[in-house]
């Protein structure tokens, strides 16, 4: 089974985003605070320095500890995969 490109590596305390790794707190409260801050900052993404990219990153961090966020993230990932695989199958080269 191939290793997932986007995951939270609990053993090393790092969020893996493809080839990039970002340290995250090892405590549950710290991860929830970080994820909430990222989502909150992403909502204000129209301001300088903050960006809308913070919302999905915050949801990935929150999904490690909160089951309702994890279910919604997984549902969105399955929907996105099915949507893109359907489009790819319709194309002819």
Residue 4 confidence class, pLDDT cut points 50, 70, 90: low
Give per-residue pLDDT as tens, 50-88.
888 889 889 988 988 999 999 998 898 899 889 988 776
**Position 22 in a domain:** yes
Number of domains in the chain: 1
Q: How far apart, in Å, are the Cα atoms of 68 and each of 10, 54, 63, 84?
A: 19, 19, 8, 24
Assess if residue 23 is contained within a domain.
yes
Residue 79 lies in a domain: yes
Give a yes or no: residue 1 inside a domain. no
Inside any domain, residue 17: yes
Instruction: Report if residue 55 sits inside a domain.
Output: yes
Q: Tell me, yes or no, whether 46 lies in a domain.
A: yes
Instruction: Give the distance from CA 28 to its chain's centroid.
Output: 16
**Domain containing residue 60:** 6-90
User: Could you give the CA distance from residue 80 to residue 11 in angstroms, rounded to a whole number?
Assistant: 28
Q: Over the stretch 6-48, which tens digit does the pLDDT of each residue have? A: 777 878 888 888 888 888 888 899 999 999 999 999 999 888 8
Domain membership flag for residue 26 = yes
Q: What is the pLDDT of residue 93?
A: 42
Task: Give pLDDT, residue 3.
Answer: 62
């Amino acid at each position: 089974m191939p290793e997932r490109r986007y995951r939270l590596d609990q053993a090393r305390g790092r969020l893996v985003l493809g080839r990039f790794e970002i340290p995250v707190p090892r405590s549950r409260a710290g991860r929830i605070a970080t994820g909430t801050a990222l989502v909150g900052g992403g909502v204000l993404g129209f301001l300088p320095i903050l960006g809308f990219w913070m919302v999905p990153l915050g949801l990935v961090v929150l999904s490690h500890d909160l089951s309702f966020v994890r279910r919604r993230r997984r549902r969105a990932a399955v929907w996105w995969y099915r949507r893109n695989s359907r489009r790819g199958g319709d194309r002819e080269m």
